Amino acid sequence: MAVQTAETVRQWATRHDIGCTDIDVWKAHEERRGGMDELHHAGNPDLVVTLGGDGTFLRGARIAAKNDAAVLGVDLGKVGFLTEVACRDVETALEAVHHGGATYEERMTLTMRASRPLEIPSGIESLLRYGHGPALPPPAVRPETAEGDGWGVALDVTALNDVVLEKLARDHQVALGVYLAGRLLASYSADAVIVATPTGSTAYSFAAGGPILSPSTEAIVFTPVAPHMTFNRTVVTAPDEPVALRVLPHSGQAAVSIDGQLRGVLDPGDWIGVYGSTRRLRLVRLAPTDFYGRLRDRFRLTDAPATALDGESDLFWRTTTPVPPDLAHLKLPPPSGHDR
């Protein structure tokens, strides 16, 4: 299905005399490029079309956000929060973008600094990525880095979902000092810690017991995974309040993953600082979005036994009449037929 849909996109681009380049394709015996290299290889596109589920969308997002390109997600997955259209509608979606009939929804992203450039030691990559496709290279150092200025190195990272620091040894948790807005909050011994965006709040952070945030929220979500301490709650910070994680001297090594991709390994004494990026991601939308309707559908919330007694709930507010003045400033459900 992906191959057929990709050909549909290429043929549409040819008919409209628009350049089209394959990017971030996993091929045998070929190394994958970092986001900035992939962006230049693609010729700095205005639109990135992803064919797959949310994982594929995230790979397109890391490229698009570096160039303020928009992303159109074509859904080939099963539990997609980010993808927008089905394969059968891809030409309709491309026409809408081309002729100005689409809208764009902005999402915040994360970036980071580290005490040193990230590296993946020899032998660890094959162990951690057994059964997976080719790995991305460690993120490059951004040019604004000043050697020895005390602020670490700025890394070319754009995360739409999350940055995760997790243990490497099965029998040894990672020990971390966690700093919020430059102040020590606590020391954690845990399987992992997650620093997520509101978009990523429905991914790994949610699975670890974190809250669900509206994607229009501006916030950073810090969630520990299986912590050995009394304080095991998620903390939600402002996007300008960085979350720093220092690997403590008695800890083992820790793996750094960005949007689910292994990107480096930290040793005791190393640290990373994660914070809201000035780069935004622009998602193509063809109709008004209903995040909570999508949340209900994806997690099958209407399948709860109690709902079977009463059937489908009535709408709370009906949108067939003009909105009253005291509600005009609120974000309301889209009209019937636009439940996306």
Instruction: List, by residue number, the catalytic residues.
Output: 54
Residue pair 199/169 in contact (Cβ under 8 Å)? The answer is no
**Angle ∠(94,95,101) on CA atoms, nearest 5:** 105
Q: SS3 letters for 197-232?
A: CCHHHHCHHHHCCCCCCCCCCCCEEEEEECCCCCCC
Tell me the H-state helices in the chain: 2-15, 35-41, 54-64, 90-98, 124-128, 204-207, 291-298, 307-310
- How far, in Å, CA of 270 to CA of 248, rounded? 8
User: Phi, psi (5° rounding) for residue 119?
Assistant: -140, 155
Is residue 64 classed as helix, strand or coil in its secondary structure? helix
Environment class of residue 21 by beta-carbon count within 10 Å: exposed (0-12), middle (13-18) or buried (19+)?
exposed
Environment class of residue 116 by beta-carbon count within 10 Å: exposed (0-12), middle (13-18) or buried (19+)?
middle
